[in-house]
């Protein structure tokens, strides 16, 4: 097929850079989103994504001003597209840990109601295995009155992006392309070769679904191992980061970095998406690892309480400063951030303030931009996100501003010995007291 126009449904961290990449290649590109404020920003050539995203703001401005990229809330305009790429959230219910596919179902139906015969539909959203066959195809066929493989083409090409390197990952990383049939695979290869420098690894729909959920579950398991080692080292009086260095001197070992918790849209849910597809077999390692990582922000609260107690203070009459609301360094993305759990656990039990140089919207506590204001009269400074601005903190200056010198380090950002030498009570993930 000849691809001259593309519609991207969902203009968030995945869809917006995808749309920009196609537009930069001269493809007439439409970004569809239900958020009118986001659509308005894009149409003014302004990136709605804050944080350090190299090249994205310039790419949006150039594409919009050049006329190759427009944004809309109107799904009817997708009827103009040769290819429609769906990049919407597939969250889980936090209580049941079951997939919530409401957004996907709605977007798929809206696409089906307007797509033209012969169009290629690509689902980039991460899916529980068998969702393409059991959910996506029935909706597309019922709402369009057409048949997949006969009247339109269908692929599942899961995204592999990460905040902070959205364009780089899109242009450089390999991708898995699952197709309904051979014709769909060939059309998908033609589509993604426009923007990709990496390889396309072809498969059927089911194997593409499974591989995406498990590539993230695999990393989640590795991080959980590191976090278990960190908890053990705290009890043993050892430094988990020195242990990691020594372990990794052995060939074929790659112990990951422990920390305050695992955030982002993907890792906290993809293990549960995979597990939800299984009716008889119950995975143990994958789900236990996920539970281990979910507990790390709770452990951060325990370290806060222990640090305050060592300094002779009680949580109830203390001011706590949270450094970092985003889940990732130099990003504005707060989805499943460990900071949210920490704030939830402390809310109503202590006075809270939050500092983050990138996040625009506060969460249950005042959000300050000035670091000195955030730590002033604080009883405990808690490093949750390793934003670049927190590296090389002037500890003497920080200590002079705080009421009680307690530091809880969830990212190994500071030297434990250096903090203690400067007069702080120090507690850190993986750092034996």
Catalytic residues: 212, 266
**Closest CA relative to residue 65, chosen from 76, 74, 75, 57:** 57
In the structure encoding, which two tokens stand for residue 165, read together? Answer: 């390197």
Judge contact between 230 and 430, C-beta under 8 A.
yes
Largest Cα–Cα distance of the chain, in whole Å?
73
Rounded Cα distance, 241 and 230, in Å: 8
Long-range CB pairs of 134-139 (<8 Å, 24+ gap) are 135/101, 135/104, 135/105, 135/108, 136/104, 136/108, 137/180, 139/105, 139/108, 139/109, 139/112
| End-to-end CA separation in angstroms for the chain | 63
Judge contact between 408 and 308, C-beta under 8 A.
no
Pure H helices in 258-313: 267-276, 285-310
Phi, psi of 229 (to 5 degrees): -60, -40
Question: In Å, what is the CA distance from 295 to each residue of 34, 201, 292?
Answer: 34, 35, 5
CB contact set of 319 (below 8 Å; sequence gap of 6+): 350, 351, 352, 353, 377, 378, 379, 380, 403
Rounded Cα distance, 7 and 80, in Å: 8
Identify the residue whose tokens are 């906290």: 268
In the structure encoding, which two tokens stand for residue 253, read together? Answer: 């070992």
Is 409 strand, coil or helix?
A: strand
E-strand spans in 319-399? 319-323, 351-355, 367-368, 380-383
In the structure encoding, which two tokens stand for residue 348, read together? Answer: 């109503």
Is 380 strand, coil or helix?
A: strand
Rounded Cα distance, 202 and 197, in Å: 15
Reduced 3-state DSSP string for 2-24: CCCEEEEECCCCCHHHHHHHHHH
Judge contact between 297 and 345, C-beta under 8 A.
yes
């Amino acid at each position: 097929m000849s691809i001259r126009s593309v519609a991207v449904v969902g203009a968030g961290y995945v869809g917006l850079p995808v749309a920009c990449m196609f537009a930069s290649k001269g493809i007439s590109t439409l970004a569809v989103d239900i958020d009118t404020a986001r659509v308005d920003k894009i149409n003014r050539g302004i990136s709605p994504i804050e944080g350090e995203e190299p090249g994205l703001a310039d790419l949006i401005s150039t594409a919009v001003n050049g006329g190759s990229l427009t944004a809309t809330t109107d799904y009817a305009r997708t009827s103009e597209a040769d290819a429609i790429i769906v990049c919407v959230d597939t969250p889980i219910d936090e209580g049941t840990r079951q997939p919530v596919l409401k957004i996907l179902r709605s977007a798929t139906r809206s696409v089906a109601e307007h797509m033209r015969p012969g169009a290629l539909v690509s689902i980039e959203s991460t899916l529980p295995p068998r969702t393409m066959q059991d959910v996506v195809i029935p909706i597309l066929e019922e709402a369009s009155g057409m048949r997949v493989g006969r009247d339109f083409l269908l692929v599942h090409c899961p995204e592999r992006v990460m905040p902070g390197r959205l364009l780089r990952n899109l242009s450089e990383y390999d991708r898995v392309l699952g197709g309904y049939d051979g014709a769909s695979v060939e059309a998908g290869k033609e589509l993604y070769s426009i923007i990709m420098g990496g390889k396309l690894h072809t498969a059927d729909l089911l194997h593409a679904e499974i591989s995406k959920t498990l590539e993230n579950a695999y990393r989640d398991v590795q991080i959980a191992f590191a976090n278990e080692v960190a908890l053990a080292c705290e009890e043993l009086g050892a430094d988990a980061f020195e242990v990691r260095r020594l372990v990794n001197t052995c060939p074929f070992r790659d112990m990951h970095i422990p920390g305050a918790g695992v955030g982002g849209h993907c890792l906290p849910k993809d293990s549960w998406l995979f597990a939800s597809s299984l009716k008889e077999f119950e995975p143990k390692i994958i789900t236990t690892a996920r539970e281990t990582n979910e507990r790390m922000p709770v452990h951060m609260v325990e370290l806060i309480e222990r640090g305050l107690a060592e300094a002779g203070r009680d949580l109830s009459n203390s001011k706590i400063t949270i450094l970092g609301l985003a889940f990732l360094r130099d990003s504005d993305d707060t989805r499943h951030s460990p900071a949210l759990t920490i704030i939830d656990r402390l809310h109503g039990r202590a006075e809270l303030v939050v500092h983050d140089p990138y996040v625009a919207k506060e969460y249950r506590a005042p959000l300050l931009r000035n670091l000195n204001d955030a730590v002033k009269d604080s009883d405990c400074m808690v490093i949750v996100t390793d934003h670049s601005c927190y590296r090389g903190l002037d500890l003497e200056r920080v200590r002079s501003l705080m009421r009680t010198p307690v530091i809880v380090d969830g990212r190994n950002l500071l030297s434990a010995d250096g903090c203690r030498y400067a007069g702080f009570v120090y507690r850190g993930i993986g750092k034996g007291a």
